[in-house]
């Protein structure tokens, strides 16, 4: 039923559009820079761009289930952007002026779109205002194209990666039988399959890094507080962050520039992180020689079990980093027993997050202008009353029930949080400081928990494709505020390797769109 509504809206919008003529513009894999050039030289309009992405969604979403809902006002916003540029002689009001953006369905918009985290329990709820990052996107001129499919409740309910009751099962556009990974699966799939110019995801632990790796896109997981979490359905204020998922490092950085900064509605975190935002923004760090002089650590234990193809490719990448001036330091240990460390992190993280989720979700629900549910207890009751829609037999909701049983942040939770801070301070943070590292490099999302527990940043870049064509990524992680140096390394690596290629299931509509 949800897809039928989506399909009907897309069809109406596509038929109703009056697109500008876009002679010679290459829509597939179009970067923000290329879009700007198209606007400037007259080969592209925002209206034509939005029509292209709506067409992609109409054709591909029945297979990939990356988009949960499209914005019925998207074409109106695009026409307004075109009119703005015409009346101002081509001047852009921001770096994303007229550029379509898909948002993960836990990022609130005060418009015709729903914000449900994929659950029917929140369908029809009304938020009081745009999320902080959406306010900044609109200020930059972006067109909000729609909402992308999350793992329901950002997978704290423990469903299949990329599945939600409203959106169905997102599929990897490179290999349909492979995981799309992480709760930001929809944004990752949509970015990979050219269903939007850029997309925005969220992460608590691995939810940007993992789908970016498995869908061959660039993901930036910012330092916690660098981007506002106001209006984002919460899990953990210690770990939640909002970040770009795009086809290139440059696009991701331009999107990051648009959304960072202080927000009075997320005052404590954004005020603390504002000191890390460089004067002049982050695009100044898109340097082809960004690997030169960087000290990069390779942690023991993370590359094991990755298979012969991946290990060979990763070793080639380490050689490339050295050839471009990086000092690569191998055989580093973050703990005597890495497996035991990760188990301890997981245990304490679970204790803390269950309590944080209940407290912060109930606060979010209470603030909604209207909502079918007002508490975690009511969500659990809703699921029990709708077992078929919510696939209770397949997934259950044990973790939601466990969260509901918590009684706030008590001595047990405080001890767990303190232990997480100790494990980070005496582990990864200590290692990076002692070895004077600019970054650690790990495969895919294997170090996500090390980075998550104290809000550390990371950038994932496409690294290669396995024997079955399944993408894998490489992750540059650092300490709080290390975004400039991570961007330098990620961009230089991307430009030196140029690994990314479009997925087969993202190009099905290519010929037919130009023939329409």
Q: Is residue 6 pLDDT above 80, yes or no? A: no
Indicate which residue of 22, 46, 125, 183 is catalytic: 183
Give the mean pLDDT of 119-145. Answer: 98
Contact yes or no for 448/477 (Cβ under 8 A): no
Q: Is residue 509 pLDDT above 60, yes or no? A: no
* pLDDT band, very low/low/confident/very high, at 358 (cuts 50, 70, 90): very high
Contact yes or no for 217/475 (Cβ under 8 A): no
* pLDDT band, very low/low/confident/very high, at 507 (cuts 50, 70, 90): low
The mean predicted confidence, pLDDT, of the chain is 93
Active-site residue flag, 347 = no
Contact yes or no for 357/351 (Cβ under 8 A): no
Give the mean pLDDT of 41-60. Answer: 97
Indicate which residue of 22, 104, 151, 221 is catalytic: 104
Rg, Å, the chain Cα set? 22
Q: Is residue 8 pLDDT above 60, yes or no? A: no
Q: Tell me the pairing of strands 439-443 and 295-299.
A: parallel
Q: Is residue 13 pLDDT above 90, yes or no? A: no
Q: What proportion of the chain, given as a percentage, has pLDDT over 90?
A: 90
Q: How high is the pLDDT of residue 20?
A: 37
Cα distance between residue 249 and residue 191, in whole Å:
13
Q: Is residue 19 pLDDT above 50, yes or no? A: no
Q: How high is the pLDDT of residue 482?
A: 98
Q: How high is the pLDDT of residue 424?
A: 97
223: helix, coil or strand? coil
* pLDDT band, very low/low/confident/very high, at 467 (cuts 50, 70, 90): confident
Indicate which residue of 164, 207, 236, 448 is catalytic: 207
* pLDDT band, very low/low/confident/very high, at 4 (cuts 50, 70, 90): very low
Active-site residue flag, 125 = no
Contact yes or no for 515/313 (Cβ under 8 A): no
CA atoms within 13 A on the CB side of 133: 30
Q: Does pTM top 0.85 for this prediction?
A: yes
The encoded tokens of residue 441 equal 């490099």
Contact yes or no for 230/88 (Cβ under 8 A): no
Q: Is residue 511 pLDDT above 50, yes or no? A: no
Model pLDDT for residues 191-227, shown as the tens digit of each residue: 999 999 999 999 999 999 999 999 999 999 999 999 9
Q: How high is the pLDDT of residue 468?
A: 87
Contact yes or no for 238/455 (Cβ under 8 A): yes
Active-site residue flag, 228 = no
* pLDDT band, very low/low/confident/very high, at 15 (cuts 50, 70, 90): very low
- Between helix 249-259 and helix 32-41 the angle, nearest 10°, is 80
């Amino acid at each position: 039923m949800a897809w039928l509504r989506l399909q009907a809206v897309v069809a109406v919008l596509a038929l109703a559009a009056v697109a500008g003529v876009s002679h010679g513009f290459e829509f597939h894999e179009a970067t923000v820079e290329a879009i700007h050039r198209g606007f400037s030289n007259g080969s592209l309009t925002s209206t034509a761009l939005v029509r292209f992405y709506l067409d992609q969604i109409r054709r591909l979403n029945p297979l990939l289930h990356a988009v949960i809902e499209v914005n019925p006002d998207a074409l109106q916003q695009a026409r307004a952007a075109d009119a703005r540029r015409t009346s101002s002689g081509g001047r852009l009001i921001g770096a994303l002026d007229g550029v379509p953006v898909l948002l993960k369905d836990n990022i609130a918009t005060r418009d015709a779109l729903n914000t449900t985290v994929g659950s029917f329990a929140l369908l029809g709820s009304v938020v009081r205002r745009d999320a902080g990052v959406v306010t900044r996107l609109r200020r930059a001129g972006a067109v909000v194209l729609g909402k992308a499919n999350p793992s329901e409740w950002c997978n704290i309910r423990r469903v299949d990666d990329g599945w939600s009751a409203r959106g169905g099962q997102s599929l990897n556009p490179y290999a349909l039988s492979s995981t799309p990974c992480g709760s930001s699966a929809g944004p990752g799939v949509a970015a990979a399959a050219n269903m939007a110019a850029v997309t925005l995801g969220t992460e608590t632990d691995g939810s940007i890094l993992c789908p970016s790796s498995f869908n061959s896109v660039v993901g930036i997981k910012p330092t916690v507080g660098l981007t506002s979490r106001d209006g984002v359905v919460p899990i953990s204020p210690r770990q939640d962050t909002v970040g770009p998922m795009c086809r290139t490092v440059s696009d991701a950085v331009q999107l990051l520039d648009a959304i960072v900064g202080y927000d009075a509605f997320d005052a404590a975190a954004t005020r603390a992180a504002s000191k890390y935002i460089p004067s002049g923004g982050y695009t100044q760090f898109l340097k082809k020689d960004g690997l030169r002089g960087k000290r990069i650590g390779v942690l023991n234990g993370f590359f094991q079990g990755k298979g012969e193809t991946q290990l060979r490719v990763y070793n080639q990448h380490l050689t490339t980093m050295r050839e471009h001036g990086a000092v690569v330091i191998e055989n580093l240990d973050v703990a005597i027993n890495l497996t035991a460390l990760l188990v301890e992190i997981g245990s304490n993280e679970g204790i803390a997050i269950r309590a944080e989720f209940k407290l912060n979700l109930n606060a979010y629900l209470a603030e909604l202008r209207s909502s079918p549910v007002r508490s975690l207890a009511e969500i659990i009751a809703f699921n029990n009353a709708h077992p078929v829609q919510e696939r209770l037999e397949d997934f259950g909701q044990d973790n939601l029930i466990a969260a509901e049983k918590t009684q706030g942040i008590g001595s047990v939770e405080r001890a767990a949080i303190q232990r997480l801070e100790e494990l980070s301070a005496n582990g990864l943070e200590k290692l990076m400081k002692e070895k004077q590292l600019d970054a650690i490099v790990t495969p895919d999302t294997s170090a996500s928990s090390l980075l998550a527990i104290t809000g550390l940043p990371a950038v994932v870049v496409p690294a290669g494709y396995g024997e079955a064509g399944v993408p894998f990524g490489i992750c540059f992680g650092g300490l709080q505020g290390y975004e400039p140096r991570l961007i330098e390394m990620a961009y230089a690596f991307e430009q030196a390797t140029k690994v990314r290629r479009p997925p087969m299931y993202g190009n099905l509509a290519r010929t037919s769109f130009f023939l329409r």
